[in-house]
Structure 1
């Protein structure tokens, strides 16, 4: 028997009309709002490449060439930095190099962020207090930029995250024992897969996507790191998380109070001054932490169009009575003065219009500027 329904003149009869449903979200692929801050040494003559890289990366690290490698040999390095609105995602490729963030740089630097690194290729060795963390593809390395370290790496390609310490404050912060550790396992693989997915879609992220992406990254980092670190930490390190959560909440709630001091924190937490200093060691010290939070609060006030107070009044509101001292501290923290805040907040916006470059497009001027303003968003 021949099935006539398959013949050329067959017309399928349907009880209901067919309505094609177009896939949702496809049109949003053209509405990405991010543009990276790109840097490459590839356009320079080989003898100038390493010096250019040293200058570019200096806010983060001091770097030096391996033995028997010379600047004349060239140093082809690339980096793209994407601001997710308070967290940086960094695509990085460079030859073998030695690196360090020594105590003097830590002391003078306002950066106490976490640096989280996934290697696509190569290996690295980082030493803190005699303990070396070896990173390779398939693992994740975490280090604090608020603590000294030194190391070396082979030629590597990587994707990394830089996040301010306070991004995790709702959870009491990442444990202090997270510094200079390398982690693996299924949680790390889930995190790495999500980071790779975000990396592949950076140019397509919309305004609505950004906060969700940042929040998901924050949660996944915390969920991947904390159980592994706590499992190998002593009871004191676990209790530090609860103390830090209470300390950060107290500081945030009393940020404008002249009575916000180390002594007040000791009384609130019922701990000694020595214990308090140990608690804030990875944040650059309790006084530096309070000062930084006050300056961030002042930055938010100055950026608020509805706040009509003068610069000196806002300085006084955060406990700095001298306008000169406030301006000096503010400029040291952010790299620009309080009176120039509007221009620089536009230049350092976390969301950048796709296809625009230079000051007219609001692109951050430097890598250092992006690092300094992370805690604002």
Structure 2
């Protein structure tokens, strides 16, 4: 059994392991925070906070939890602004579930001002505009992929940029703390139950507060809800070989130009559909309880040519569909060079 190891100072470790080992990426930046700042600037405008007391040591570790990314660390004070320009240029649209262990933060968005102290739990949508200011803080962040949480994306969007409160949210806080404590000894064999419980706790937490959210919060921008509808339609119709821009425009009653704008940061509608299909196929192939033939899985997700499916699969992941079942591959191909920042690592999840 292989466990995660902590990095040494100034050491960057990037790992996409196979056969049961837990994926891990760690960074310790001792003085100038160059990598941390580069990571933040890659999807938002980042500046040092005026409250910086001179301590610039930033430490964080990131873990691949199969559809989730778990990041924990200690950060120097900073200001972060995600604008409309960033939304257009960045394809990062995850939700960030933030738990503060120490320090404080202020998040401003179209829904008002969200303030947090130690023990605060809140959800921020990276698909919306916001500004964030923190003191020196110790934190845990769970980055939630929209495709992985597609079945209740509307509920998460309703809860975004607002604090999560109540009994279930307190239980969720304790669960996240337990992940932070146990994650060094965790293996991929144990992840399904961990991620299942986290998803269910999060879903219950935001659902029980849904009435408050809908009454007191301004809606997210219309483009966010529209793309959520588009994603839901794609997810519900992956089995159809006819799924494409034309079918989407008709179902959503929008123009091709508008549809193209919605998926511009994803490389276009066709590219998004192809990646969603391949991710669904990969998930099915890695499920030991799914005994369908590889060709049957491909056909069930809208492919009419097994050869084309294999080519597309290898192009995206870096290995063949048959290798998934042989070796329990769980992510994209191992990148040969050290990633420039955590964002590059995140995009591989």
TM-score of the pair, normalised by structure 1? 0.64
Aligned partners of 1:121 and 1:137 also within 8 Å = yes
- Partner Cα distance (1:36, 1:287) in 2: 28
Cα displacement string for residues 192-211 of structure 1 (whole angstroms, at most 9, x for unaligned residues):
11111122111222332111
- Displacement, 1:57? 3.4
Alpha-carbon distance in structure 2 between the residues aligned to 1:297 and 1:363: 28
1:55 matched to 2:55: no
Shift of 1:87: 0.2
Structure ID, larger Rg: 1
Match of 1:122 in 2: 103
Deviates more, 1:217-226 or 1:292-301: 292-301
Tell me the secondary structure at the aligned position of residue 201 of structure 1.
helix
Q: Tell me, in whole angstroms, the C-alpha distance in 1 between the residues paired with 2:195 and 2:339.
A: 19
Equivalent pairs counted in the alignment come to: 298
CA distance in 2 between partners of 1:104 and 1:364 (Å): 24
Please give the alpha-carbon distance, in whole angstroms, between the structure 1 residues aligned to 2:195 and 2:212: 26
Aligned to 2:126: 145
2: CA distance between counterparts of 1:151 and 1:157?
Answer: 15
CA contact (8 A) 1:36 1:80 kept: yes
Normalising by structure 2, we get a TM-score of 0.68
Q: Confirm or deny: 8 A CA contact 2:111 2:161 kept in the other structure.
A: no
**Cα shift at 1:246:** 5.8
Change (3 A) 1:253 1:90: same
Q: Distance in 1 between matches of 2:27 and 2:84?
A: 27
Deviation at 1:223, TM superposition (A): 0.9
1:184 has 2:150 as partner = no
From 177, 189, 193, the equivalent of 2:174 is 193
1:90 to 68, 71, 75: 71
The superposition leaves residues 310-349 of structure 1 with CA deviations (integer Å, 9 ceiling, x where unpaired) of: xxxxxx969xxxxxxxx9xx9xxxxxx9388339x99xx6
Q: Deviations over 1:29-73 (max 9, x none)?
A: 89983253111211xxx4xx1334211333344321123859xx5
Alignment partner of 1:65 out of 40, 48, 54: 48
Alignment deviations for residues 290-325 of structure 1 (CA, whole Å, 9 cap, x no partner): 7424224346779989979xxxxxxx969xxxxxxx
Query: Against the structure 1 CA distance between its residues 126 and 141, is the aligned structure 2 distance closer, same or farther, given a 3 Å change threshold?
Result: same
Once residues 102 and 43 of structure 2 are traced to their aligned partners in structure 1, the CA distance between those partners, rounded to angstroms, is 21
Residue 40 of structure 1: aligned partner? 28
Aligned counterpart, 2:308: none
Cα distance in 2 between the residues matched to 1:35 and 1:364: 14
Q: Which stretch shifts more, 76-85 or 146-155?
A: 146-155
Unmatched tracts of structure 1, length 5 or more: 1-26, 267-271, 309-315, 319-326, 331-336, 353-357
Given candidates 185, 190, 196, the residue that maps to 1:204 is 185
For residue 128 of structure 2, give the secondary structure of its aligned residue in structure 1.
Answer: coil
The runs of 5 or more residues in structure 2 that have no matched partner are 5-18, 220-224, 287-292, 296-301, 305-310
CA distance in 2, matches of 1:205, 1:117: 21
**Distance in 2 (alpha carbons) for counterparts of 1:339 and 1:161:** 24
RMSD over aligned Cα atoms: 4.6
- Secondary structure of 2:139's match? strand
